[in-house]
């Protein structure tokens, strides 16, 4: 028996159960995050065998790291230079894998699994992010809530992590009940139909395109989603605010709640008329607040490596929707015309830095502690004060807008305004695309083009991207360059798509388990060699396109 581990679990669980969210966040905000990261570094250097060897290889004496400036000079760690270079136990404290009580799995570019051990205490600090959403967005502290886990289950990190964190909220006293159909649409619809009427609201938690697909399948089957006061928690993909409006309208008919955003995209006149009819019923101010689009969904920014790094809040959603309607302001703020995911984060839980190339680093405690871990996500950081000052310069006050959406300008509304910094994320900088939460890598596609016969038809160049159809369903698009003198036809297109699909399923276990079967077959387009749009001659080729 490991008595120390038992006591560690008791301390972590007691602290989580006994401390209200407000107090936990205030405790964190009162701490100096830079000093905490220095302490974490010293602890990891002293207790994690692999990290000691890693530092020694760079001629770094841990005792010499005394200031935050010193900390910022520490070498970055990655999967390639650290995690894959040492036995799994050596990445854990004291070299003991057995001090972690759970192992999750994610897949790399070759399909080889990466294992992520963790302890209950690691999950409890991540449960704070779920509590923020359930408390601040969904008012689940005083509303009977059914949490439906729609992430893939099994060893995959998303489903079990989410289910555990939601159960911790129930243990804390939230009237939350968890059910785990996983990414089985038939079972999702069944549990919502049969259990939803016993609760005041139903929360669907899953990857954005899969949640939309489940919603659309329910509508086709005659599901009256609005009966269940649907809320949604997303992870794994960047989506547009038009997309948020669409799925919100199809579940809750929220057209009344967001006067600051053009919600007409994707909705025809007949639908709008029906939605307005649904909204004609009088609602209490509290219902108006929690039915508002700012309070009906939230996205998590997370990784298999370290759980949830940040989460959308009513404040961040309000700001992002305003920026979606004000592209000039968005370009000034983010430096790009595309709209990133925008979340708030706790720097004492996950401490972010921005690398010289505009990619993000973070440090945080976990089953495998990570110090200055380079996750290759393009993005940046904005403090709370900087964000509000920027918006004020553009004449926008998000707090006032949230109060107006709540319908109670003089009351204790709205929830969800916390003085936490912002991190924005455009996506992975290396050549991958995210599809139903699975990272799809060019290497997987290449193998499908290298099989006999097919390799005679193509040059090996292709462009991989995720597109949306007119109904905003996600499609995996692959444009393939034909070899000189080869003409495309339906037979070649079908053969190439089938070959790529076979290799994706074989090599990429995330793809095989996360993506619903009906969405797995890629949409292949064949072009002539040197196509100016996709394969211009004399230009360095990029295999992915966002």
pLDDT of residue 213: 87
CB 328 within 8 A of CB 146: no
- The band of 478, judged by pLDDT with boundaries at 50, 70 and 90, is very high
Mean predicted confidence (pLDDT) in 74-100 = 94
- 496: tokens are 């190439």
**pLDDT of 279 strictly over 50:** no
Q: What is the pLDDT of residue 281?
A: 40
Q: DSSP assignment of 452-502, as one string?
A: TTHHHHEEEEEEEEEEE-TT--EEEEEEEEEPTT----HHHHHHHHHHHHH
With a pLDDT cut of 90, the percent of the chain lying above it is 63
pLDDT, tens only, 394-414: 999 999 998 887 665 444 556
What average pLDDT does range 335-352 have in this prediction? 90
What mean pLDDT comes out for the span 92-115?
A: 81
- pLDDT of 92 strictly over 50: yes
* Residue partners of 370: CB distance under 8 A and separation at least 6: 77, 305, 306, 362, 363, 364
Tell me the average pLDDT across 262-288: 39
Q: How high is the pLDDT of residue 451?
A: 86
- pLDDT tens-digit profile of 218-248? 999 999 999 999 999 999 877 888 889 889 9
User: How far is Cα 300 from Cα 343, in angstroms, rounded to an integer?
Assistant: 8
Which of the two residues, 260 and 433, has the higher pLDDT score?
433
Give Cα separations from 485 to 110, 263, 361, 488 (angstroms).
Answer: 32, 47, 47, 10
pLDDT tens track for 482-539? 998 899 999 999 999 999 999 999 878 889 999 999 999 999 999 999 999 999 987 7
Residue 46: in which H helix or E strand, if any?
Answer: helix 33-47
- For range 273-280, the mean pLDDT: 37
Q: What is the DSSP string of 324-382?
A: HT-HHHHHHHHSSSSPPEEEE--TTTSEEEE-TTSEEEEEE-SSS-EEEEEEEEEEEEE
pLDDT of residue 30: 61
Question: Is 37 a residue whose pLDDT tops 90?
Answer: yes
pLDDT of 256 > 80? The answer is: no
Average pLDDT, the chain: 87
Q: Measure Cα distances from 438 to 35, 118, 184, 433, 445 in Å.
A: 36, 21, 16, 8, 14
pLDDT, position 316: 97
Over range 138-147, report the average pLDDT. 96
Q: What is the pLDDT of residue 254?
A: 47
> What is the average pLDDT across 272-294?
48
Helix (H) or strand (E) holding 250: helix 241-252
Q: Is the pLDDT of residue 269 over 80?
A: no
Closest CA to 199 of 146, 135, 267, 128: 146
3-state secondary structure of 448: helix
Confidence of residue 107 (pLDDT cuts 50, 70, 90): low
pLDDT at position 283 over 60: no
pLDDT > 80? residue 290: no
Top-ranked range on mean pLDDT: pick from 164-168, 425-429, 539-543: 164-168
What is the model's pLDDT at position 375?
86
Mean per-residue pLDDT, 195-218: 94
pLDDT at 277 exceeding the cut of 60: no
Give the span between the Cα atoms of 514 and 158, in whole angstroms.
10
Higher pLDDT, 323 or 106: 323
pLDDT band at 110 (very low <50, low <70, confident <90, very high): very low
- Report the pLDDT averaged over residues 73-90: 95
Bigger pLDDT: 154 or 128?
128
For residue 307, pLDDT beyond 80: yes
Task: Indicate the DSSP class of residue 525.
Answer: E
Q: Which residue has the higher pLDDT, 337 or 456?
A: 456
- pLDDT at site 225: 97
Dihedral sign for Cα 507, 512, 515, 517, please.
Answer: positive
The pLDDT assigned to 338 comes to: 73
- Given this model, what pLDDT does residue 154 score? 86
Q: What is the mean pLDDT of residues 302-319?
A: 92
CA atoms of 514 and 424, how far apart (whole Å): 25
The answer to whether residue 273 scores a pLDDT higher than 90 is no
Given pLDDT bands bounded at 50, 70 and 90, which one contains residue 109? very low
Q: Summarize pLDDT for 171-192 with one digit per residue, the tens.
A: 999 999 999 999 999 999 999 9
- pTM of the model as a whole: 0.83
The residue ranking higher by pLDDT, 521 or 284, is 521
Q: Please state the length of the chain.
A: 546
Q: For 132-152, what is the mean pLDDT?
A: 96
60 or 278, greater pLDDT: 60
Residue 424 has pLDDT above 60, yes or no: yes
pLDDT score of 176: 98
Mean pLDDT of 454-481: 92
Give the pLDDT confidence score for residue 545 in this predicted structure.
84
């Amino acid at each position: 028996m490991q008595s120390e581990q038992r006591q560690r679990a008791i301390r972590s669980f007691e602290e989580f159960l006994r401390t209200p969210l407000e107090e936990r966040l205030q405790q964190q905000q009162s701490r100096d995050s830079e000093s905490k990261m220095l302490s974490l570094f010293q602890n990891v250097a002293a207790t994690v065998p692999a990290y000691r060897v890693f530092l020694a290889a760079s001629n770094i004496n841990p005792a010499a790291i005394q200031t935050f400036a010193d900390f910022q000079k520490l070498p970055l760690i990655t999967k390639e230079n650290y995690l894959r270079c040492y036995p799994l136990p050596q990445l854990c404290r004291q070299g003991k894998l057995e001090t972690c009580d759970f192992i999750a799995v994610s897949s790399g570019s070759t399909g080889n699994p990466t294992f992520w051990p963790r302890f209950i205490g690691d999950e409890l600090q991540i449960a704070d992010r779920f509590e923020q959403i359930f408390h601040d967005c969904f008012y689940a502290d005083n509303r009977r809530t059914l949490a439906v886990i729609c992430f893939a289950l099994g060893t995959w990190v998303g489903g079990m992590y989410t289910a555990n964190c939601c159960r911790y909220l129930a243990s804390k006293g939230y009237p939350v009940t968890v059910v785990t159909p996983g990414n089985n649409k038939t079972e999702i619809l069944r549990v919502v139909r049969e259990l939803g009427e016993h609760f005041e609201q139903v929360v669907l938690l899953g990857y954005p395109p899969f949640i939309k697909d489940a919603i659309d399948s329910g509508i086709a089957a005659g599901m009256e989603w609005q009966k269940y006061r649907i809320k949604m928690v997303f992870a794994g993909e960047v989506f547009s605010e038009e997309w948020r409006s669409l799925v919100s309208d199809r579940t809750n008919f929220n057209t009344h709640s967001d006067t600051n955003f053009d919600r007409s995209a994707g909705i025809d006149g007949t639908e709008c008329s029906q939605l307005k009819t649904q909204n004609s019923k009088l609602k209490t101010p509290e219902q108006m607040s929690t039915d508002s689009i700012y309070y009906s969904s939230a996205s998590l920014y997370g990784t298999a490596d370290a759980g949830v790094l940040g989460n959308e809040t009513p404040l961040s959603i309000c700001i992002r929707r305003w920026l979606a309607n004000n592209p000039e302001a968005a370009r000034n703020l983010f430096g790009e015309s595309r709209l990133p995911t925008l979340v708030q984060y706790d720097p004492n839980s996950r401490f972010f830095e921005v690398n010289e190339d505009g990619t993000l680093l973070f440090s945080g405690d976990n089953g495998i502690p990570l110090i200055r871990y380079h996750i290759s996500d393009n993005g940046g950081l904005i403090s709370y004060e900087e964000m509000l000052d920027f918006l004020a310069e553009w004449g926008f006050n998000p707090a006032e807008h949230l109060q107006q959406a709540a319908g109670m300008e003089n009351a204790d509304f709205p929830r969800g305004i916390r003085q936490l910094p912002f991190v924005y994320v455009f996506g992975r900088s290396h050549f991958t695309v995210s599809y139903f939460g699975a990272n799809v890598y060019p290497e997987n596609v290449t193998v499908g083009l290298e099989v006999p016969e097919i390799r005679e038809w193509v040059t090996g160049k292709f462009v991989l991207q995720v597109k949306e159809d007119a109904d905003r369903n996600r499609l995996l698009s692959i444009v393939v360059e034909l070899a000189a003198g080869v003409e495309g036809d339906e037979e070649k297109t079908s053969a190439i798509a089938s070959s790529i699909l076979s290799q994706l399923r074989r090599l990429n276990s995330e793809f095989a388990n996360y993506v619903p079967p009906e969405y797995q077959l890629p949409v292949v387009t064949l072009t002539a060699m040197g196509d100016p749009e996709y394969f211009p001659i004399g230009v360095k080729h990029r295999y992915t396109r966002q």
